[in-house]
Structure 1
Amino acid sequence: MIHFEKIHHVSLAVRDLEKARVFYSELLGLREIQRPAFNSRGIWYAIGNQQLHLLEHANGETLRFGAIDTVDGHCAFWVSSYKDTVAWLEQAGIPFEARPQSIAGFTQIYVLDPDHNILEFDAPYESK
């Protein structure tokens, strides 16, 4: 039997690493961490005790082109505040789809990165 402890990282394919760096580092404010010298281009980020790995793959089969589709594969992050996250996204000019009263049991906010990877930000319900 495998005894799982946690998710270590999620990897997303990106077409243009520098364009992705602007989105993830500058707009979202994620903290970049050191990445080993692989024979590929990528960026690693720390998110709590887990990591997000961006891998440059200009013609990868996993790259999306469509709009937000919450049934499609996506990466979800737990954030501390729905209201603060919405305010940050609005201030940064990042389009989003918000579900403040989601039946999931918590709030949900969906965004697309420059390569149409779907990112979900989840937070506890907040009083109005």
Structure 2
Amino acid sequence: MTGAGRGTAGVLGLHHASLVIADFQAAREFYGHHLGLAPLERPELGFPGLWYDLGNGQALHLLRVPNPDPTERAVRCGQDRHLALRVDELETFAARLEAAGFAVERSRSGRPAAFVRDPDGNAIELIEDGA
């Protein structure tokens, strides 16, 4: 049944999520190199940005536009708005980010999940696939 029982119209899944960035090089390094996401071709939209493939027809859109939010956020990542990504080998992935200088915060719930902030302060949750 689709559309929460309301006939045929309804949400089918996530198409993309968008985050605001300030520095292209820092974003490319974090999302492309450290997270290992593959870039997608992006049409000319009248403002700069980057797109990355999240798999299964889903994408991450990074927007270089004025940021209305503070990049320094005095709240734990798990209590902040965030993007959650499935990963394999969470501890290996987290160790690689920590070695690159990113603070990784393990989930307090005990489940195999961790949080990291990108160079612009956006919170990213990493959840071990199958958890």
Is this a same-fold pair by TM over 0.5? yes
TM bucket normalised to smaller: 0.7 to 0.9
Q: Relative contact order (C-alpha < 8 Å, sep 6+): which is higher?
A: 1
- Give 3-state SS (helix, strand or coil) of 1:70's partner: helix
Query: Residue 5 of structure 1 aligns with which residue?
Result: 12
Query: Residue 94 of structure 1 aligns with which residue?
Result: 102
The 8 Å contact of residues 32 and 46 in structure 1, kept in 2 or not, is answered as yes
Deviation at 1:124, TM superposition (A): 5.2
Gaps of 5+ in 2: 1-5
The TM-score normalised by the length of structure 2 is 0.81
What is the 5 A alignment of 1:1-128?
1=6, 2-49=9-56, 50-57=58-65, 59-67=66-74, 68-99=76-107, 102=109, 106-123=111-128
One-letter amino acid of the structure 1 residue matched with residue 32 of structure 2 = S
Deviation at 1:16, TM superposition (A): 1.6
Aligned length: 122
Gaps of 5+ in 1: none
- Structure showing greater radius of gyration is 2
Deviation at 1:23, TM superposition (A): 1.4
Query: Residue 3 of structure 2 aligns with which residue?
Result: none
Deviation at 1:62, TM superposition (A): 3.5
One-letter amino acid of the structure 2 residue matched with residue 91 of structure 1 = A
Deviation at 1:125, TM superposition (A): 7.9
RMSD between superposed Cα atoms in Å? 2.2
Deviates more, 1:19-28 or 1:5-14: 19-28
CA distance in 2, matches of 1:79, 1:27: 12
Tell me the alpha carbon deviations over residues 53-75 of structure 1, each in whole angstroms, 9 at most, x when there is no partner: 10002x32135322543221110
